[in-house]
Amino acid sequence: QVRLVESGGGSVQSGGSLRLSCTASGAGLSRYESYCRGWFRQAPGKEREGLAHIDPDGTITYADSVKGRFTISQDVAKNTWYLEMNSLKPEDTAMYYCGADPLSCMTVANIGPAGYNYGGQGTQVTVSS
């Protein structure tokens, strides 16, 4: 079983920044670096939206809505990946989740924005104007 725990959410004003963290643990994580790791969000009344992911080969993909503002990175030694969010907008307000899956990120994305086999409980991000 793989457990994911997000942290770093909070309330900021428009234009501000936040850094989210996702730490993975569990007996099933022996090959963490071979997993697709990513972030998605869900705002009230809206569909889930995939934001960014890292493939096992290190390839990074961003959604158009966050490209240039958000940066995904990882610390393999800590089983942790991050989402650095800059130039935040009120429309970025949502619950943010991290996900991980032993399948490729392309397969996960084809399943859906939250198609990860493992997901965290989420961390709230609120951006005020």
Write the DSSP assignment of 16-57 as a string of letters.
--EEEEEEEESGGGTTGGGSEEEEEEE-TTS--EEEEEE-TT
In this prediction, residues 20-44 reach a mean pLDDT of 85
- For 71-100, how does the pLDDT look when each residue is reduced to its tens digit (9 = 90+)? 999 998 898 999 999 999 999 999 999 999
Number of Cβ within 10 Å of residue 57's Cβ equals 9
Residue 116: what residue type? Answer: Y
The residues that bridge with 38 in the sheet, in sequence order, are 53, 99
- Banded model confidence at residue 32, pLDDT cuts 50, 70, 90: low
